[in-house]
Amino acid sequence: MIDIKKEIAGLLSGCIDGMEAAEIEALIEIPTDPSLGDYAFPCFRLAKLLRKAPPLIAADIASSLGGSGLFEKVQNVNAYVNMFIDRKAFAAATLSEVAAGGDDFGRSDIGGGKTVIVEYSSPNIAKPFHIGHIRSTVIGNSIYKLYDAVGYKVVRINHLGDYGTQFGKMITAYRRWGCEEDVRREPIKTLLSYYVKFHEEAEKDPSLEDEARETFARLEHGEKEETELWRWFREESLKEFSRVYDMMGISFDSYAGESFYSDKMPAVLEELREKGLLQESQGAQIVDLSQWNMSPALITKSDGSSLYITRDIAAAIYRKETYDFEKNIYVVASQQNLHFQQWFKVLELMGREWYKDCVHVPFGLVSLEEGTMSTRKGRVVFLEEVLRRAVEKTREIIIEKGVNTDNVDETAKTVGIGAVMFQELSNNRIKDYVFSWDTVLNFDGETGPYVQYTHARACSVLRNAGADISKLSARDLDLSYVCGDAAYELVKLIYRFPEIVADAAEKYEPSVVTRHVVDIAQAFNKFYHDEHILTKNEDEKNAKLLLTYAAMQTIRNGLALLGIKAPEKM
């Protein structure tokens, strides 16, 4: 597709001596008020260069550009050059691109096939998959899809929390109060109850903590009984996790969790010693980071057991050696910022120059209306319960309103789960928020169901027309029929979609796509209400149907990048 900004920059560079086209392109703006043009160029910066008042410079440039076939008109307003694109030519180029691209519209080859790793979700084994985990899961899944769309080869890793002292606690609790039959019947809720009981009892009897540490040490040394219990807890947990992932249509290339790297940590410790980075502190091994205004990186505890940071370093080295990544992205809550700063710095001190290719993508926290979630106290909202309730409510609405659908249950699942995921991706990822059932089950306003309904509406228009869209070519149609204000605003938003996808990937920010598909949905609905699409005039109808198809296809592609399905009937 033609890059309008680049084209304008090229034309402007012919009018401005002493400024490169790339520098000019960076200054080009898109006015918020359409009456001021499609693009604007401010001339303040040119006053010193050209020794002339900015309004006079703008007048000269506007006069020079007036003859270009790219524009319907060019005018200067004070120090700005306001440019109005030729609507008909612009619509032809945009609609042709969507028709040619189809499901691939918006994709690019920016990444050139280089490998990117995205680590996301990463729940803890034997603990509930709660609403807090949805953030890493859906943000990470969307970042994977965005990087795939811009031409990278993406490896999706679910770095399971399947190691550490918590398993000493879980095994200790199971031995004291556990029942195999209960665990097999309802694994996560039963194991959670043991974990909660452990912490309640440990407050009365602190020796339980020592027992848990000793149990984990035996697990680290591969003792048979502890290893078998740990493996059983892991398998039962994965069954439950998989059910939730299936509901959301999310999958991974690797479930290599912390335990996978246990045999790779001795080499890391040896390298740290050889490079003189390890120091002893009260029996523990640390890397002193005070020079960089950070607390020490604790590498091993006084009993010799490993910590998250040791396993993360081993994992990063393994991934670089195995995948030779261009980027190694970690989608993990912002409360872990210091942890990532510490171990990225340790990698740098180890001489691993690729440490700078490791990227922490933080996100805000989810809390409950009654306070912060706490697994230890059993205060959590299970993610599966949230998804099921969203589906149930959607099903009730579909039946109550007599929604046109071939399969009530399938549509309820698509819309209900889509609503939960869309809400998670609709705000800037760094924002904290309070989980509320009323909010998550509210489908009014700028929501997933609104966007999905708009897609279904466009599909309905195309079905009712009975036209073969594949035979409609923008080159053969009279596109003056889609040059009215409502239609043109929709065309402009569709045109920007590939740029939006690239921007969202660069910023690791799915909400950029979410906001844009809402804008397209709103613009299509305005076009739908302002214009009569299925007119008797065949030329007019076909031009408007091609625009309807382009809006439908772009919304579908945008929802796909968010991991959300687009129903054709709703």
- Residues 6 or more apart whose CB falls under 8 angstroms from that of 20 comprise 13
Q: For tokens 């994977």, what's the residue?
A: 144
Backbone angles phi, psi at 536, to 5 degrees: -75, -25
Beta carbons within 10 angstroms of residue 492's beta carbon: 20
529 is catalytic: no
127 is catalytic: yes
CA distance linking residue 181 with residue 170, whole number of Å: 16
| Strands in 210-296 per DSSP E | 278-281, 284-287
Q: Please choose, from the candidates 372, 369, 328, the residue with its C-alpha nearest in 3D space to the C-alpha of residue 352.
A: 328
CA distance linking residue 237 with residue 231, whole number of Å: 10
Q: What's the one-letter identity of residue 124?
A: N
Query: Encoding tokens for residue 284?
Result: 């523990």
Residues 298-319 as b or e (16 or more Cβ within 10 Å = b) = bbbbeeebbbebbbbbbbbbeb
Strand order in the sheet with 80-85: 39-42, 80-85, 71-77
Question: Catalytic: which of 48, 133, 224, 526?
Answer: 133
Rounded to 10 degrees, the C-alpha dihedral 550/556/562/565 comes to 170
Q: Which three-class secondary structure state does DSSP give residue 165?
A: helix
CA distance linking residue 490 with residue 511, whole number of Å: 20
Q: Please choose, from the candidates 55, 74, 53, the residue with its C-alpha nearest in 3D space to the C-alpha of residue 63.
A: 74
Here the contacts of 366-372 (C-beta below 8 Å, separation 24 or greater) are 366/131, 366/132, 366/134, 366/135, 366/432, 366/433, 366/434, 366/435, 367/432, 367/433, 367/434, 367/435, 368/434, 368/435, 369/434, 369/435, 369/436
CA distance linking residue 473 with residue 50, whole number of Å: 46
Question: Catalytic: which of 48, 52, 114, 127?
Answer: 127
- Residues 6 or more apart whose CB falls under 8 angstroms from that of 230 comprise 162, 167, 171, 219, 259
Question: Catalytic: which of 130, 320, 516, 544?
Answer: 130
CA distance linking residue 173 with residue 191, whole number of Å: 9
CA distance linking residue 467 with residue 99, whole number of Å: 14
Q: Which three-class secondary structure state does DSSP give residue 118?
A: strand
Here the contacts of 241-245 (C-beta below 8 Å, separation 24 or greater) are 241/123, 241/129, 243/384, 244/129, 244/383, 244/384, 244/387, 245/121, 245/137
Query: Encoding tokens for residue 25?
Result: 């392109």
DSSP lists the bridge partners of residue 41 as: 81
On the 0-12 / 13-18 / 19+ scale of CB atoms within 10 A, 400 is exposed
CA distance linking residue 242 with residue 209, whole number of Å: 31
- By the 8 A CB rule, do 507 and 147 touch? no
Strand 284-287 relative to strand 327-331: parallel, antiparallel, unpaired? unpaired
Q: Which residues are marked as active site? A: 127, 130, 133
